Chain A
Amino acid sequence: MLSWYYLKGIIMLAGIYLLPVLGLSLLTGFTGLFSFGHAGFMAIGGYTTAFMMMKLEVPFIPAILMGGLFAAFFSFIIGKLTLKLKGDYFCIATLGFGEAIRLLLDNIQYFGGARGWPGLPLKTTLITVIIIDIIAVILLRNIIRSRHGRNMIAVREEELASSIIGIDTFKYKMISLVISAFYAGVGGGLLGTYLGFLQPKIFSLTRSTELTIIVIFGGLGSLTGSVVGTILLIALPEILRSFANWRLVVYGVIVVFIMIARPEGLMGGKELSFDVLRNLFRKRVKEAKAEGGK
């Protein structure tokens, strides 16, 4: 049934997708900006990493970081052009950007065009994924719990009030976007070196949408929500594979059901931390004692 090899594959896939989801969690969940182009940042990261390793013989980790940086650079340009504009320009720009990157890659024969780019070195291991995930979560947590994170949340809550208390809203949207694209880029780099090939259609609009769905499903403004959401929504369809044709239906039903039952997402803006667990536990113990005392 569930062989270790199979399970390991699912864990790695979820671990890799966790990175763009975390990035998007910062951007959408904590800063309030919606992006439908994060698959595009993944693509840039993936192809940059592959290019660095295959053509320039750059080692694995630096190559992945370069992928992240290059994605971040693109996001910076998009941000410069659209983050000062009112309304939904940013969202539409990311959507257009994601599709443009995919079409561009479809036509760059140097990278294999639409047929894809096979034969990439299989460098991504379970340990690498787990270590990078842990670092990624810790860094994001540190940002969110600092004044910089508070500024992002303020922008999400009430932009006008933010600027009136001295927050450079443009700057904080930009920082959030660039970090988020960096995460997506690194995720793309890991994905290519895990699958052993890259193909533009992996990074479709559907993929971008899926990332946003995971963030909303987990709960906007909750990192633990994003983690749990990723594990459930990436792993679930794989585990449901034995249902063959029915699996996507079941998947859809589960997502819809949870969104109806908990419209604020699984975690609803709350974090699951050791503190929370400890407090819950203490409360239980106290209650139990009180009961016993009666």
Chain B
Amino acid sequence: MNILQVNGLTKQFGGLTAVNDVTFDVERGSITGLIGPNGAGKTTIFNLVTGVYKVTGGKIVFDGKEIQNEEAFKIANMGITRTFQNIRLFKRLTVYENVLTACQYNANYSLFEAMVFGLVPKKIKRNSRFYREEKLLKEQAEELMEILGLQDRRNFIANNLPYGFQRRLEIARALALRPKLLLLDEPAAGMNPEETEKLTELIAFIRDKFDLSVLLIEHHMDLVMEICDKIVVLNFGCKLAEGTPKEIQQNPEVQKAYLGGGNNA
């Protein structure tokens, strides 16, 4: 079954049609690539799927539910989350704080409980839901930092991290939600070949470890061809082709519009 179905998706900004009647699926457990030249509408599709923009037309079905009219935070809580092309961390917070903030999965204690149990002797506190859940959240944050290799830099202010680690931190923060579908917007942008190689492994690893489906925008063709089960090609807002990496590589139209264009950096 498909985790995500995008059907006739259209988005207009004034006179500009950024996404034009695009239809594709993401199979459960797969890594699907979304590629296309600059301005093709890739990021716009992410913004539509995550509820950041309202759709002009078409349907988005996630896990059997139509979500095109839902608010962004609700879509996130249903199980879709993402990273951003131009990284959006909580810049002035530490690595640990960034991850901990996103760890809310299964936390239900109320504001009132926090106010009452925040500063009482441990003996009383220990039996409270507040204490139990906070402890769990902190453990989750530690685990995520461990998995993504952020432990050594846990007290770094996010903004001061090297670029590659900022991207990792964004992935850690997204994983804290225990998403079913993870959207990665150019995760390898600005990385050297070695870092890109590591990232490729990481994406495959977290897909298995967290039982995810991944939709991936990327300009690094090596990465895309290596890990994607399927690739969707966009051009000027329209879907140009869809298929396995091999099919895409051999597709003459794709080569003309994109791969052969010489600007596939």
Contacts and interface: CB of A to CB of B under 8 A. Distances in A.
A146 B134 contact: yes
Interface string A133-173: 00000110111011111110110011011111111110000
A177 interface: no
B50 A158 contact: no
B100 A150 contact: yes
Interface stretch (B14-22, B147-155, B172-180, B257-265): B172-180
B76 A164 contact: yes
B38 interface: no
B91 interface: yes
B111 A146 contact: yes
B101 A165 contact: yes
A157 B91 contact: yes
B111 A148 contact: yes
B215 interface: no
B50 A150 contact: no
Given A164-B81, A165-B76, A143 B111 contact: yes
A164 B82 contact: yes
A165 B119 contact: no
B145 interface: no
A70 B119 CA distance: 28
Given A163-B73, A165-B101, A175 B81 contact: no
Given A150-B97, A165-B102, A142 B114 contact: yes
A143 B51 CA distance: 29
Given A143-B114, A164-B50, A154 B82 contact: no
Nearest to A138: B119
B122 interface: no
Contact of A165 (B97, B114, B173): B173
Nearest to A167: B73
Contacts of A161: 84, 88-90, 173
A158 B109 contact: no
B118 interface: yes
A157 B73 contact: no
B187 to A, nearest CB: 15
Interface string B71-105: 11100110001101000111111000100111010
Contact of B92 (A139, A150, A157, A165): A157
Contacts of A167: 73, 104
A128 B213 CA distance: 58
Contacts of A169: 73
Nearest to B76: A166
B241 interface: no
A97 to B, nearest CB: 24
A147 B89 CA distance: 17
Contacts of B116: 142
A164 B134 CA distance: 21
A266 B88 CA distance: 28
A175 B111 contact: yes
A269 B137 CA distance: 24
A158 B91 contact: yes
A212 B43 CA distance: 39
B115 A139 contact: yes
Interface string B177-191: 100000000000000
Contacts of A141: 118-119
A41 B52 CA distance: 34
Contact of B72 (A143, A157, A158, A164): A164
B107 interface: yes
Interface in A88-147: 138-139, 141-143, 145-147
Contacts of B177: 165-166
B122 to A, nearest CB: 15
B115 A150 contact: no
Contacts of B119: 138, 141-142
Contacts of B114: 142-143, 145-149
Nearest to B78: A166
B128 to A, nearest CB: 12
Nearest to A150: B101
B62 interface: no
Interface in A48-77: none
A145 B138 CA distance: 12
A146 to B, nearest CB: 3
A248 to B, nearest CB: 34
B98 to A, nearest CB: 9
9 contacts: A143-B114, A146-B114, A146-B130, A147-B107, A163-B51, A163-B72, A164-B76, A165-B173, A169-B73
Interface of B: 50-52, 71-73, 76-77, 81-82, 84, 88-93, 97, 100-102, 104, 107, 109, 111, 114-119, 130, 134, 137, 173-174, 176-177
Given A142-B114, A143-B115, A154-B101, 17 more contacts: A138-B118, A142-B115, A142-B117, A142-B118, A143-B114, A146-B109, A147-B134, A147-B137, A148-B111, A150-B101, A151-B101, A153-B93, A157-B92, A164-B76, A164-B82, A166-B104, A168-B73
- Top 4 nearest A-B pairs (CB, nearest first) are A142-B118, A146-B114, A166-B76, A157-B90
